Structure 1
Amino acid sequence: MGNEALSLLIMLGVGIPIYICASASTPVAAALVLKGLSPGAALVFLLAGPATNAATLTVVARYFGKQATMVYLASIALASLALGWLTNRLYGWLGLDITQWVNEVSDATDSMYMQGAALLLLALILTSPLRQKLDD
């Protein structure tokens, strides 16, 4: 997305209403960054989504009231937008490019060591049910 402020706001708008846990939001954010989303916008999604899910908002509203819930929601939104903006500034200042990192990692997966490790892992996975049957 070409407009940084718009991408931050869109990811805030996407992250707040959906119920997504932190472990599920991480691969989603990583895929979005690889598709061209700024790291700051991905951070906004990672911070706002899990912190503002329906269960959390319900508990905050029940124990602290609707006004405190609105302050909580506004605080999460403003903090995540500020940190997303700062992340984009940091990446720009340091000249970091995430897509370059991914290309370097994909080259490493072609090594014989990685292929051997993958085959060993596959063998362990396939023999696990057999070992369980022998133990029973």
Structure 2
Amino acid sequence: MNPKLLMIASSIFMAANGLAFTFFPQEFLQNFNQPASPLIVSILQLLGALYLGFGMLNWMAKNLLIGGIYSRPISMGNFAHFLVAGLALLKAAPGLKLPQIWGLAVIYIVFAAGFGLVAFTHPKAVKV
């Protein structure tokens, strides 16, 4: 597993989600036929800020040696985020009956597996 490619892919994924939630919360809710109450819109915008921040963290850390004990907080934070979110999506997907949720769950589980490998294995110097 190339940690640099994983960091770049996750930063792009999170930044795209962050921008969407920050600037288009009503459109997101409309896509899922949900009412756009001021509270839900504000929560989505806060979630967008979180995703943008996490995406920026991953982008800024993409050149660090990540794995094992090196940059452990970054790899563990990403692993925990993607694993917990992936499991929550897998739990919710059957009841929601939306194919988008299944696709999102797969993306999260793949990122969780990648960050799990990076966090719990010895890093190798990769020249990119």
TM-score (norm 2): 0.30
Higher relative contact order (CA 8 A, sep 6+): 2
